[in-house]
Structure 1
Amino acid sequence: MRIIGGTHRGRTLASVGKGDMAAHLRPTSDRVRESLFNVLAGGYGDPVTGARCLDIFAGTGALGLEALSRGADCVCFVEDGRKAQSILAENIALLNAGPKVQVLRRDARRLGENPEAAYDLIFLDPPYGKGLGEVALAKALTGGWIAPGALVVWEESSTIDVPADLRLLEARKYGDTIISFLEDES
Structure 2
Amino acid sequence: MTRIIAGSWGGRRLATLSGATTRPTTDRVREALFASIASELGGWNGVRVLDLFAGSGALALESLSRGAEHADLVESNGKAAGVVSRNIRELGAHDARLHRTTAERFLAAAPAEPYHLVFLDPPYALETSALQKLVARLTIGDWRTDDSLLVVERSSRDPWSWPDGVDALRDKAYGETHLWYGR
* TM-score, length-scaled by structure 2: 0.90
1:142 and 2:137 aligned? no
* Cα shift at 1:37: 0.7
Which stretch has the larger CA shift, 110-119 or 2-11? 110-119
The one of 154, 157, 162 equivalent to 1:156 is 154
Percent identity, please: 39
Which stretch has the larger CA shift, 120-129 or 139-148? 139-148
Aligned to 1:142, the other structure's residue is in SS state coil
d(CA) in 2 for partners of 1:119 and 1:44? 14
Aligned to 1:26, the other structure's residue is in SS state coil
| Aligned residue type for 1:3 | I
* TM-score, length-scaled by structure 1: 0.88
Matched positions, count: 177
Q: Which residue of 2 aligns with 1:109?
A: 104
Cα contact 1:47–1:121 (8 A) shared by 2: no
Cα contact 1:49–1:70 (8 A) shared by 2: no
- Taking a change above 3 Å as real, the CA distance of residues 28 and 15 of structure 1, as seen in their structure-2 partners, is same
Query: Deviations 1:105-144 (Å, cap 9, x if unpaired)?
Result: 2111232122401101111101115224212222233353
Aligned to 1:80, the other structure's residue is in SS state coil
| Aligned residue type for 2:92 | N
Q: Which residue of 2 aligns with 1:26?
A: 23
| Aligned residue type for 1:35 | A
1:52 and 2:48 aligned? yes
* Cα shift at 1:47: 4.7
Runs of 4 or more above 4 Å deviation: none
The one of 57, 62, 70 equivalent to 1:66 is 62
Q: Give the superposed CA RMSD.
A: 1.6
* Cα shift at 1:33: 0.4
Cα contact 2:7–2:67 (8 A) shared by 1: yes
